[in-house]
Structure 1
């Protein structure tokens, strides 16, 4: 009973410290988004209640379907690729120990480079007169427009992985450091090989880290619009026409009702898996 009373007091103190941040979040984030949800059921001009008509209009929009498909394809390809590559690099760094510090630091360099500088670098490499085409020309290959052609999606995938690799590696390394060496020693004594130790010791020990890495990778995937917009402009190649491009066009034309309905749909798609996973984790702990 005494422990419950102390924990209750600590919880109340914690909420008091969080109150200013919670109030700011409520005023500047939650309440405006509640208004967005409300607007998704009304006409922007006349304020007439239209029920689900805005959602039907958005789903039936060909640009929305193209942007949704490209965004989903980007997520399905990039997130697993980033998670696997960053996990491999983190295990390599963990094996190198002190020698891996330089390697880990070099992976964090892209995070410190401003987006505008990355765009200039990519133009230097991938434009028709760029270095990649000059190198391929030495082997008799014809130059191509890497950014405004069919290869634009590959360039965007590479940009995303290169930009976010170091951040995920740091998270994986922290997760690996939390796994006790005694577990690995016990597994070796039992005759477990490298694959068995990875499957039955490393992966279970990284379950919470994996959830964090995947969640942040999904959220960071929506930030790649900055690079796509600055490199290819408002109307890029159709393979990299993302939801952010569509939202930008609707914002310029002040199409509030479409933006509101589409943002609610996007929130449902992104937030539901995270909420479901969080609830499942809590049930597993209890």
Structure 2
């Protein structure tokens, strides 16, 4: 009798375990499917590709004509790829971005946009690799880093002010990267006070974070809210950023910090060094021309003993 009861108990326990395991598998499968679908849907509203263009069909027609004359025109492939993206034609967009990169491997913007298209196609690892390559070619392209990080957090795309990084920090307050990304978000929204707070926290948690040092130095030197400026601190942070990451954009920030302290001669000298570095940097020619014009304008201001950010 006791043996029969024992068998029934074991059978009941076994059945209960089977039910629990089956339930766990079903729940996991359901949420994995929902999460993957939400990531693909989120990618469709990725800024920079799915924003409405003035006339995508006209752009496709013009760039196609340009490519008939010059089949290696990377810029034309790129523009047509963005237009195809706007028309939700991800296959054609991907093909054009591939062609742009074949013609000009240093085209940082094309790497970035191909990453966006791959996100739309659910190719998450390839998209992350493209974002990373874009960062390597153009270290000042914060959005490439930002989108690479947030590729796994689709809800942040639906509400620019609502970010999952807040939740992560509540769980693990020691994470520096999330502080940095919140700083970027605040800076892009021109919310300078919270941006300063987040970047300071990022630097405190990771003293080797060159990007956070650079952003913090820039805000402390040029913030539209003059009450938040601190040129001396800006200079210290910019010097650290250059030491950690000696690229043209960190030199630009360092020159800006020197100008903020009133040392225009040193600002001009450092700006020239930054411009020289930029000229040696491999990136898309149009992007390089844009940065070169910006940095040259800064240099002209310093040579005239002026701060370019002061109106």
TM > 0.5: no
Instruction: Tell me which protein shows more helix as a share of its residues.
Output: 1
Q: TM-score, normalised by structure 1?
A: 0.26
Could you tell me the TM-score, scaled by structure 2's length?
0.24
